[in-house]
Amino acid sequence: MEGTQTSPALAGRLRLSTFDLAVAGIFGALAIVLSFTPLGLIPVPNPTEAATSLHLPAIVAGILAGPIVGGLVGLVLAISSWTLYGATFITFANGSVIVALLAAFLPRILIGVVAYYVYRPLRRWPALAAGVAGVAGTLVNSVGVLGLLIWLGVLPVELLVPVFAMNVPIEVGLALVVTIPVVAALRAVGRGRIAADKD
């Protein structure tokens, strides 16, 4: 039936290259490692008791390989986080599993998607683009989880200021320190491989 066929343009956007699959695998594995080791959490003296570096693989994956790969790595992060902290999410959501799942999954899936779409219009200035995309992806994660719970009325607004004041500057700083050089290095490696293939 014609109505059920996928258009060539859409099929092209949904098709993942070998490079895309490699990025998804490497950064998905890195997201799992960060989730299940102390490397993913940085102790800070606020109600959450930790700032996070868990969002970084999804940001870099989104920049390098596009929104689908960024979303997949974010999904891996969300599943890993839910495995470890599902009960905590449910507690913060006042016992609502649906709200907890929404808060745990939606912002994390969007990290790499937002990073890609912020990076793309600025890509002529790679360092600036990577930095701004890193900040945007970080804010999606930091603001998204708590903001969603507050918007849904299951967390008090009073938690927002102390958590943001302690977490967001650290997480934004991490994103800038990691994203800019990592993206630059991986882009350089990619350009080198393309040049070598042409020789």
Tell me: the pLDDT tens digits for 99-154? Answer: 888 888 999 999 999 999 999 999 999 999 999 999 999 999 888 877 777 777 66
Which stretches of the chain are DSSP H helices? 8-14, 18-35, 56-65, 67-92, 97-119, 126-151, 160-198
Domain assignments of the chain as residue spans, ordered by start: 17-198
pLDDT confidence of residue 10: 42
Token pair for 21:
């699959």
Q: Which of 115, 104, 103, 30 is nearest to 65 (CA)?
A: 115
Q: Which fold has domain 17-198?
A: Arp2/3 complex 21 kDa subunit ARPC3 (1.10.1760)
* Band of residue 187 on the pLDDT scale cut at 50, 70, 90: confident
Of the listed ranges 9-13, 27-31, 60-64, the one predicted with least confidence: 9-13
